[in-house]
């Protein structure tokens, strides 16, 4: 592997990893904010318990997103200095604005939320969480504006060989970003939905398994309590069944959201990066059919090796153009266009290092694009279907006794994560061999594109890149194990793990569990320094 390939692996690994934590942060943050709002308005103890429990898991995960996010910003300069020099005038701004306008907000107000349970009036405490959640969504917007410029460069003019921003409005309202942002946010919500559903299912199952909850003759649940176990009371049942239903509804809504926005995004991509979409289909020839299963020689980028085994006519045209008859261009007809427009070989420029003069491979790795596209849709759809089934199965207030179903629900948590990762891997690898894709749109700007081969830092050695790849991957692997262990510990602990006060002697819950001395209605801050979270 040369420096370029190592740098690409590093970017891929660190980004996919970072984006396991981020969607859960965005999605779960919103869910917790909604639940805390419900508690604020109704004062019902189960909503407070849900806020505390899901909030705790949210924080365990949030910190990993923060820690791995810094790597992302530094990495452009460290490993991709030529890229940074080329795009800096237009790409740096959204990153800087993300830090200044979004991440500052998110970090500061989350700190207030975590430590301010007693210092802030309940309304302000709740508002802090909302502000942090809005900050995280804004953060997603700025990052996707930056990414969308790589997918579809707009708002610039080429001056001295570099794109220079001339129209900030065009950059910040790039149509690629406007559909990618809601798509990503719905994808994040899908992760939260599955997370709530799986974990709540586990606890409902546990309560039945332990004989706490029973089922009456009509099949309806009879919530019980076990006084020997802290927090295993009747309200606990209500915590989990509500969480499960919220999770399932969120999962279904977000799948519908990703489907609608994904369709819009697909139609744009057929115009903006036709090769990516042809490769997503492994479609060699022009046609209208959507492939359900295609097979080919693994690793081959030769289109003629790919055979579509099952194909549904008309669907591809629908995905691309909204009708069933327009022919969509395949790889074979796109390839000559790309070669004519962007050359057959990399220029003889030292920026390409040893790759100068090499033939350009315009077809992305089709196994990745083809299966990435299908895994994204497949995992997403499966999670939504599972949510629907879960709602039906739990209509009488609890889950079936089956251990297998419980395991399925728990492992189902992974499906939306898989869909998110697959979607990003698809869209980033489908853009290759470009790091900044050329814009074939007639409104686009000529010659604003960059081959990935030109983007890597010329002064950084393969040895340095290997060192960082190994170090980051190893540290990330260890931390993933730690994070999952902690999550499992707190999940198994149930609500009491996030609300140790429930474990004390039985007391009037309304008094014990509320943050101010007298609950949400009380406006007098408690006489305490801060909520000791550490």
Interacting positions 208-227 with other proteins (CB under 8 A): 210, 226
Dist CA 531 CA 515 (whole Å): 9
Dist CA 529 CA 95 (whole Å): 36
Mark the segment that binds other proteins (CB under 8 A) among 18-26, 106-114, 400-408, 427-435: 106-114
Q: What mask, x for binding other proteins by CB under 8 A, covers residues 135 to 174?
A: ------------------------x----xxx-x------
Query: What minimum distance in Å lies between the beta carbon of 327 and other proteins?
Result: 42
Query: What minimum distance in Å lies between the beta carbon of 370 and other proteins?
Result: 34
Q: Which of 1, 96, 307, 507 touches other proteins (CB under 8 A)?
A: 96
Dist CA 35 CA 204 (whole Å): 19
Nearer to other proteins, 115 or 342 (CB): 115
Nearer to other proteins, 190 or 399 (CB): 399
Nearer to other proteins, 260 or 460 (CB): 460
266's tokens? 């697909």
Dist CA 351 CA 45 (whole Å): 63
Site for other proteins in 407-466 (CB under 8 A): 457-461, 463-464
Dist CA 439 CA 448 (whole Å): 7
Query: What minimum distance in Å lies between the beta carbon of 495 and other proteins?
Result: 8
Distances (CA, A) of 389 to 202, 247, 403: 16, 13, 16
120 binds other proteins (CB under 8 A): yes
Phi and psi torsions of 159, nearest 5°? -130, 125
492 binds other proteins (CB under 8 A): yes
Mark the segment that binds other proteins (CB under 8 A) among 83-91, 175-183, 293-301, 403-411: 83-91
Taking 3-state DSSP, the helix, strand and coil percentages for the chain, each rounded to the nearest 5, stand at 65, 5, 25
Dist CA 293 CA 311 (whole Å): 7
Query: What minimum distance in Å lies between the beta carbon of 279 and other proteins?
Result: 31
238 binds other proteins (CB under 8 A): no
Nearer to other proteins, 104 or 411 (CB): 104
Mark the segment that binds other proteins (CB under 8 A) among 103-111, 240-248, 307-315, 510-518: 103-111
Site for other proteins in 515-534 (CB under 8 A): 528-530, 532-534
Nearer to other proteins, 48 or 268 (CB): 48
Q: Which of 3, 22, 24, 93 touches other proteins (CB under 8 A)?
A: 93
Nearest Cα residue to 181 out of 220, 137, 126: 137
H helices then E strands: how many in the chain?
Answer: 17, 8
494 binds other proteins (CB under 8 A): yes
Dist CA 397 CA 239 (whole Å): 12
Q: Which of 15, 68, 174, 272 touches other proteins (CB under 8 A)?
A: 68
With contact defined as beta carbons under 8 Å apart, do 280 and 306 qualify?
no
Query: What minimum distance in Å lies between the beta carbon of 472 and other proteins?
Result: 8
Dist CA 431 CA 13 (whole Å): 17
Query: What minimum distance in Å lies between the beta carbon of 487 and other proteins?
Result: 10
With contact defined as beta carbons under 8 Å apart, do 241 and 166 qualify?
no
Site for other proteins in 354-413 (CB under 8 A): none
Tracing tokens 């365990």 back to the chain, one arrives at: 60
Site for other proteins in 171-200 (CB under 8 A): none
65's tokens? 């997103």
Q: Which of 18, 232, 245, 329 touches other proteins (CB under 8 A)?
A: 232
Dist CA 521 CA 107 (whole Å): 27
Mark the segment that binds other proteins (CB under 8 A) among 47-55, 115-123, 276-284, 435-443: 115-123
Nearer to other proteins, 168 or 307 (CB): 168
With contact defined as beta carbons under 8 Å apart, do 163 and 118 qualify?
no
Nearer to other proteins, 104 or 324 (CB): 104
Dist CA 236 CA 218 (whole Å): 22
Alpha-helical (H) ranges within 297-365 are 315-321, 331-342
């Amino acid at each position: 592997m040369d420096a370029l390939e190592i740098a690409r692996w590093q970017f891929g690994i660190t980004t996919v990893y970072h984006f396991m934590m981020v969607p859960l942060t965005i999605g779960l943050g919103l869910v917790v904010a909604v639940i805390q709002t419900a508690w604020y308005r109704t004062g019902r103890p189960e909503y407070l318990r849900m806020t505390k429990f899901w909030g705790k898991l949210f924080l365990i995960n949030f910190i990993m997103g923060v820690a791995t996010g810094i790597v992302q910003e530094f990495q452009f300069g460290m490993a991709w200095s030529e890229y940074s020099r080329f795009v800096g005038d237009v790409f740096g701004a959204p990153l800087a604005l993300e830090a200044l306008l979004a991440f500052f907000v998110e970090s500061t107000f989350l700190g207030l939320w975590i430590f301010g349970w007693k210092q802030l009036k309940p309304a302000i405490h709740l508002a802090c969480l909302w502000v942090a959640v809005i900050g995280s969504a804004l953060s997603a917007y700025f990052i996707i504006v930056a990414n969308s410029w790589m997918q579809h460069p707009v708002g610039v003019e080429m001056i001295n060989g570099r794109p220079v921003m001339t129209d900030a409005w065009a950059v910040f309202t790039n149509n690629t970003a406007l559909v990618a942002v809601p798509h990503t946010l719905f994808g994040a919500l899908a992760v939260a939905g599955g997370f709530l559903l799986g974990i709540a299912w586990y606890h409902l199952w546990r309560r039945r398994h332990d004989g706490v909850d029973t089922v009456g003759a009509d099949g309806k649940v009879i919530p019980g309590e076990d006084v020997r176990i802290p927090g295993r009371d009747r309200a606990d049942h209500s915590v989990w069944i509500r969480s499960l239903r919220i999770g399932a509804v969120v999962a279904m809504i977000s799948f519908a959201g990703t489907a609608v926005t994904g369709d819009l995004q697909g139609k744009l991509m057929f115009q903006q990066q036709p090769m990516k979409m042809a490769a997503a289909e492994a479609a060699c020839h022009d046609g209208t059919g959507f492939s359900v299963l295609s097979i080919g020689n693994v690793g081959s980028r030769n289109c003629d090796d790919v055979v579509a085994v099952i194909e549904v006519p008309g669907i591809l045209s629908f995905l691309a153009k909204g009708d069933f008859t327009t022919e969509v261009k395949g790889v074979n007809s796109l390839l000559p266009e790309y070669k004519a427009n962007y050359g057959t070989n990399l220029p003889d420029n030292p920026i390409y290092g040893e790759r100068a003069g090499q033939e350009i491979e315009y077809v992305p790795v089709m196994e990745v694009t083809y299966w990435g596209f299908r895994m994204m849709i497949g995992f997403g759809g499966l999670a939504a279907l599972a949510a629907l089934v879960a709602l039906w199965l739990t209509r009488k207030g609890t889950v079936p006794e089956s251990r297998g179903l419980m395991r399925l629900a728990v492992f189902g948590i992974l499906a939306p994560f898989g869909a998110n990762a697959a979607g990003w891997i698809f869209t980033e690898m489908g853009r290759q061999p470009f790091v900044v894709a050329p814009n074939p749109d007639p409104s686009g700007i000529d010659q604003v594109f960059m081959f990935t081969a030109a983007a890597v830092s010329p002064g950084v050695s393969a040895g340095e890149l290997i060192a960082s790849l190994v170090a980051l991957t190893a540290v990330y692997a260890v931390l993933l194990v730690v994070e999952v262990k902690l999550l499992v510990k707190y999940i198994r602990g149930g609500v009491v793990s996030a609300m140790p006060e429930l474990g004390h002697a039985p007391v009037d819950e309304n008094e014990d569990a509320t943050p101010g001395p007298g609950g949400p209605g009380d406006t007098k801050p408690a006489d305490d320094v801060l909520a000791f979270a550490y």
